[in-house]
Amino acid sequence: MAQQGKLRKSLSLVDLTFLGLGAIVGSGWLFASQGGANMAGPSAWIAWVIGAVAVMLIGLVYAELGGALPRSGGIIRYPDYSHGPLVGYLMGFASLIAYSSVAGIEAEAVRGYASSYWHALGTSHHTSTLGWFVQFILLAVFFLLNYWSVNVFGKVNSFVTAIKFIVPLLTIIIMLTQFKASNFTSHGFAPGGFTGIEQAVSTAGIIFAFLGFRQAVDFAGEAKNPQRTVPMAIILAIVLGAILYVLLQVVFVGAIPADQLGKGWANVSFNAPFADLAKLLGFVWLAFFLQTDALISPSGTGNIYLSSTARVLFAWSHNGTFFKKFGEIDARTGIPRAALVLAFLLSVFWTLPFPTWGQLVSVVSSATVMTYIVGPISAAAFRKTAPNLRRPFRLGGMSIVAPLAFVIASLIIYWTGWKIDSWLIGVQVAMFVIYLLISSKMPTSRVSLGQQIKSSAWLIVYYVVMFFISMLGDKAFGGTGMLATPVDQILVAVVALVAYYWGINSGVPNPTFVHTEEDEAMEAEMATY
């Protein structure tokens, strides 16, 4: 029977690193350099550095969690362990939005780039009926690749990731031959000021590009020797991705012909940024490779995220706050197939009401960072409530790194802007109310409902306060302007620190980490290392 199956441990350090790197190097490198230049001008590379530092801080926290508690879908298992099912439920819902939409974004990115030479697919800002069917077929291919086995999935992904690295590296080398240092002072180094850099981090696709590091955490339950490989894979993926993206941003800004900058950086516009720029510079052969890679890079990332969404659904089910059907494993393949089917349907759904790449990126970035904010609090809470937990990778300076990671994550959520934050935070608060209304059907055997509410109060108050700060914040971020910069961001930092220390002192006393057969098997395996 399907529910008698077990997750198979087939993924090596190389596989895990390439899962993270493959998710990082997706559609982000094709579009985000132009988006960053539009918002921040020549200073856009600073936005990439900020994004890399922010994600590295968060990644280091998850390196400790992933090494100590390697679980499939760990992103939503950890808050359940540390603060109970209610917080796990809220993170499960936010994760579902964040993960399920990415495969659709990547399919849209493939169509958007292909539309530059196959015009029947629509434009970069509009999807035709044929274009939507092409996206659907691509998602169906992702589904089939994931359906057969995790081993096939991992090996195919490692191969694809190795290939798709060649074109960005080649692009950097060729664009350097056209590098013009004068571009970095054209219309000012930072025409939008530091606010432009902040906006680029959260809404140009920069933070979106880096968020793929989490794949090593999501697949930890299927990794060989996860205590060692998961932390190493997280760090390697972020470092390699950061180097690549900073170089791509620098060469993009430096290679743009001066006559394209007449109306300023905000008006630099290419349907297929690097491919169009290559043609403009006379490198038609490079444009061909770029257009080919535009099929490979997003496809590889979409394939990874479809599989990750299935693991999130699987983990949410094992938390006891989502339908049990999605926690079943196919005995023959070791794949959570019911969860994979739902992941596929959700990815298709996200291509329907949001027709372009840019419209989804801000939503996904904010939703994903929202799922990450609990990580630093869970890790710090475990230092108090589970001091004897075996930690193969123990993060030094947790008392500094964790709160700093939480503050930066909170700022990224704020930078996303009122338009996104209003409904995303509003939906999370609504899900909290729904949980209370159906609490009789939710798990209370491990953690009483009263304790769940007590352990989640910090998060709800944090959401509500962030909602109003975003509404009243600087006009540059869609607010009313009552709280202008830097007052708004200082306030976000203060609120984040209060929420952080409240959160780590609200953890469930004496947390347990063995809730399912998968947990038992993982604990038994860890005892052998």
Domain annotation for the chain: domains and CATH numbers: 2-386+395-402 (1.20.1740.10)
What's residue 104's pLDDT?
A: 84
Q: Is there a contact between 124 and 30 (Cβ–Cβ < 8 Å)?
A: no
Model pTM score: 0.82
Q: Which of 291, 367, 369, 310 is nearest to 110 (CA)?
A: 291
**Alpha carbon distance, N-terminus to C-terminus of the chain:** 31
Highest average pLDDT, of 152-156, 175-179, 519-523, comes from 175-179
CA angle (15, 21, 23) in 5-degree steps: 100
Is the pLDDT assigned to residue 381 strictly greater than 80?
yes
Higher-pLDDT residue of 163, 377: 377
Rg over CA atoms, the chain: 22
What's residue 515's pLDDT?
A: 53
Phi then psi for residue 137, to 5 deg, are: -60, -40
Burial 497-515 (b: 16+ CB within 10 A, else e): eebbeebbebbbeebebeb
Q: What is the DSSP string of 397-463?
A: THHHHHHHHHHHHHHHHHHH-HHHHHHHHHHHHHHHHHHHHTGGGS--SSS-HHHHHHHHHHHHHHH
Which amino acid type is present at position 104? G
- Tokens at 426, concatenated: 């509003």
CA angle (328, 333, 334) in 5-degree steps: 45
Is the pLDDT assigned to residue 2 strictly greater than 60?
no
Q: Which residue carries 């994931």 as its tokens?
A: 146
Q: At what angle do helices 273-280 and 28-40 cross, to 10 degrees?
A: 80
Per-residue pLDDT averaged across 293-298, rounded? Answer: 80
What's residue 150's pLDDT?
A: 56
Phi then psi for residue 400, to 5 deg, are: -105, -45
Confidence of residue 528 (pLDDT cuts 50, 70, 90): very low
CB atoms within 10 A of CB 188: 14
Confidence of residue 255 (pLDDT cuts 50, 70, 90): very high
Q: 501 Cβ partners below 8 Å, 6+ apart?
A: 403
User: What is the C-alpha to C-alpha distance for residues 432 and 441, in angstroms, rounded to an integer?
Assistant: 14
Q: What is the DSSP string of 268-319?
A: ---SSHHHHHHHHTT-HHHHHHHHHHHHHHHHHHHHHHHHHHHHHHHHHHHT
Q: What is the mean pLDDT of the chain?
A: 85
- Tokens at 298, concatenated: 């997003």
Higher-pLDDT residue of 370, 461: 461
CB atoms within 10 A of CB 1: 7
Q: Which residue carries 């809220």 as its tokens?
A: 90
